[in-house]
Amino acid sequence: MTNLEGKVALVTGGTGGIGAAICLNLAKAGAKVATNYRNQEKAEAWQAAVKEQGFDIKIYQADVSDYEACEAMAAKVVSDLGPIDILVNNAGITKDGMFKKMTKDKWDAVMKINVDSLFNVTRHVVEGMSEKGWGRIINISSINGQKGQMGQTNYTTSKAAMHGFTMSLAQEVARKGVTVNTVSPGYIATEMVMAVPEDIRNKIIAGIPVNRLGTSEEIAALVGFLCSNEAGFTTGADFAMNGGQHMM
């Protein structure tokens, strides 16, 4: 298993399905982990559940679409846990609709949370990593950012944009020991996907060559590897983990 003893990790959207698995996996590897929340009640329940599993994960209120809130969050993590070594930009939303019915509100909400957040959070973290000469940034995109998806012009645009960000930033910071990668999950058995009616879910699964949904733990394991020293030669890449549903 990856050893991240002494590393400090900030994972956005840690109270969600994939984010929680990433937080726990990094904590199991020895990292000091922090995440953020918008919804206080959900955050308190989440932190209590994590504590029951034996982990102390810090959680700070911050909306990732708010630049100043992200600046304050990053500063708090640094003062409480130390300089940030690992950043996982995972928080994200969907607001689906066919393009002819797509509203400006839905378009803007997805861009602010999925794309602006990359700037808002990473901007306050990357310099510290460069100064230290070691850092790992992982951006959680989606299979739909790679292949497109009907009814998701806003979401797929935002997720494709993430990898453009990854490639450019990777080139800027490679010599400083900082790697930047994208992970593009396919359909993962999170609450959102499990809430889809069973017959529709079975149709989705029938289109996945491995014949099942992925798990959040599988995504977390890939993120864990990308955080390791062994992944130091891996940067600017987009890792598909989708059960063979889309091959590039």
Q: Give the amino acid at 3.
A: N
> Which residues, numbered 94-153, are part of the site for ligand NDP (CB under 6 A)?
113, 140, 142
Q: Is the separation of the CB atoms in 186 and 209 below 8 Å?
A: no
State yes or no: residue 190 binds ligand NDP (CB under 6 A).
yes
State yes or no: residue 64 binds ligand NDP (CB under 6 A).
yes
Smaller CB separation from ligand NDP, 2 or 144: 144
Q: Is the separation of the CB atoms in 57 and 28 below 8 Å?
A: no
| Closest CB 81 distance from ligand NDP, rounded Å | 19
Kindly state the number of chain residues that form the binding site for ligand NDP, as judged by CB under 6 A.
Answer: 28
Q: How far apart are CA 248 and CA 240, in angstroms?
A: 8
Smaller CB separation from ligand NDP, 47 or 142: 142
Of 10, 33, 37, 240, the one binding ligand NDP (CB under 6 A) is 37
Active centre residues (catalytic) = 155
Of 72, 111, 161, 193, the one binding ligand NDP (CB under 6 A) is 193
Q: Is the separation of the CB atoms in 49 and 77 below 8 Å?
A: no
Q: How far apart are CA 96 and CA 150, in angstroms?
A: 9
Q: Is the separation of the CB atoms in 185 and 214 below 8 Å?
A: yes
State yes or no: residue 188 binds ligand NDP (CB under 6 A).
yes
DSSP category for residue 123? T
Of 73-81, 100-108, 146-154, 186-194, which segment contacts ligand NDP by CB under 6 A?
186-194
Question: 129: closest CA among 197, 70, 176?
Answer: 176
Of 1-9, 47-55, 87-95, 228-236, which segment contacts ligand NDP by CB under 6 A?
87-95
Instruction: Give 136's Cβ-side CA count (13 Å radius).
Output: 26
Smaller CB separation from ligand NDP, 112 or 176: 112
The DSSP annotation for 47-94 comes to HHHHHHTT---EEEE--TT-HHHHHHHHHHHHHHH-S--EEEE-----
| Closest CB 64 distance from ligand NDP, rounded Å | 4
Of 146, 187, 227, 235, the one binding ligand NDP (CB under 6 A) is 187
Structure tokens at 106: 């839905």
Positions touching ligand NDP (CB under 6 A) are 12-13, 15-19, 36-39, 42, 63-65, 90-93, 113, 140, 142, 185, 187-188, 190, 192-193
